[in-house]
Structure 1
Amino acid sequence: MSGEGAPSITVEGAEDLEVVVIASQWHTTVMDGLLDGARRALAEAGVRRVTELRVPGVFELPVAAARVTTGPVDAVVALGVVIRGGTPHFEYVCQAATTGLTLVSQRTSVPIGFGVLTCDTEEQALDRAGLPASREDKGHEAATAALATAITLSAWSRG
């Protein structure tokens, strides 16, 4: 399981952060779990200013992230799921989303929590979605990573 060896991350000082959660609409059950996990992580950290945006699919996540990072935002959480099919479409969408979100984060210096599941099967996605029967909660992990990075970078800039 990919969660092996994951660090335990404690988030403190996130109350005043401005966070945008961008989530795709495909695979409703998985997305509901990812969103719930991200919301729970943000609430646990005490984040009060959260905006949620829904986009059609994973391919649209980078352009949405590019747009929201033009404003006052401290962190973005990108959530989606792509399940492998019988064509190369899977590779193209996964590559575009990964590269696009990375470039937005590097260009803007805004941390983006990468909560995009790239799975071979629906069962794998459900196992990572943070649902009651899931073994992992990638929505929670992505939000926690974005918050922890935003706090670290904020401390660095105050340095």
Structure 2
Amino acid sequence: MAGFGDPHLETVDAAGLRLGIVGSRWHHELVDHMIERAKAAAEACGVQEVVVARVAGSVELPIVAQALSRRCDAVVALGVVIKGETDHFKYVNDAVTSGLTRVSLDEETPVGHGVLTVQSLGQARDRAGLADSVEDKGWQATVAVLDAALAIREIAKP
């Protein structure tokens, strides 16, 4: 993690927005916590409705994010991909990032990328928003995507 350039978005006023959260089941103990942190961020931002969906792995996140984007003002995708000994890590990360970006642009709905792409379980734990984590990607990705939805709403005003 770079540790510099963080916009330090604690909360935004997202009252009236509907948020979709999709999380993978791989590394569920971390993703479960990230989902709870995303829900807490949504509540802190005044979101009144949160829809949560789960999928098997990170590759499935974009298609469910797309379905959520058709019902929600913003979507956050959460997962953990840890590098192993093969190139599978690269293909999964490329597919997830491209898919989430495509959904966001095609559906004109912001999709937050909260998928941890790390070298080790320790790095994932450092970013999962646990009591001893240095980062909280569930919270951060949620606030960032709500901020983007608000920016789109502002731009759309006549």
Are 1:63 and 2:57 an aligned pair?
Answer: no
**CA deviation after TM superposition for structure 1 residue 8, in Å:** 1.9
2: CA distance, partners of 1:12 / 1:35: 18
1:3/1:136 contact within 8 Å kept: no
> Could you say if the C-alpha distance between residues 30 and 61 of structure 1 is closer, same or farther in structure 2, counting changes exceeding 3 Å?
same
1:103 corresponds in structure 2 to 102
**CA deviation after TM superposition for structure 1 residue 13, in Å:** 3.3
Query: What's the secondary structure of 2:131's corresponding residue?
Result: coil
1:75 corresponds in structure 2 to 74
TM-score by length of 1: 0.94
C-alpha RMSD of matched pairs (Å): 1.2
1: CA distance, partners of 2:113 / 2:3: 14
**CA deviation after TM superposition for structure 1 residue 4, in Å:** 2.4
2:3 corresponds in structure 1 to 3
2:113/2:141 contact within 8 Å kept: yes
Which segment drifts farther, 43-52 or 30-39?
Answer: 30-39
State the identity as a percent. 42
**CA deviation after TM superposition for structure 1 residue 69, in Å:** 2.1
TM-score by length of 2: 0.95
**CA deviation after TM superposition for structure 1 residue 29, in Å:** 2.2
> Could you say if the C-alpha distance between residues 19 and 152 of structure 1 is closer, same or farther in structure 2, counting changes exceeding 3 Å?
same
Can you list the C-alpha shifts for 1:39-83, whole angstroms capped at 9, x where unaligned?
Answer: 11101001111000000010000111122223x310001000100
For residues 134-149 of structure 1, what are the structure 2 equivalents within 5 Å? Answer: 134-149=133-148
1: CA distance, partners of 2:12 / 2:95: 33
Instruction: Give 5+ residue unaligned stretches, structure 2.
Output: none
2: CA distance, partners of 1:109 / 1:11: 22
Query: What's the secondary structure of 2:109's corresponding residue?
Result: coil
2:9/2:140 contact within 8 Å kept: no
2:11/2:41 contact within 8 Å kept: no
Number of residue pairs the alignment of both structures matches: 158
- Could you list the structure 1 runs, at least 4 aligned residues long, displaced by more than 3 angstroms after superposition: 10-13
1:77/1:146 contact within 8 Å kept: yes
2:111 corresponds in structure 1 to 112
2:30 corresponds in structure 1 to 30
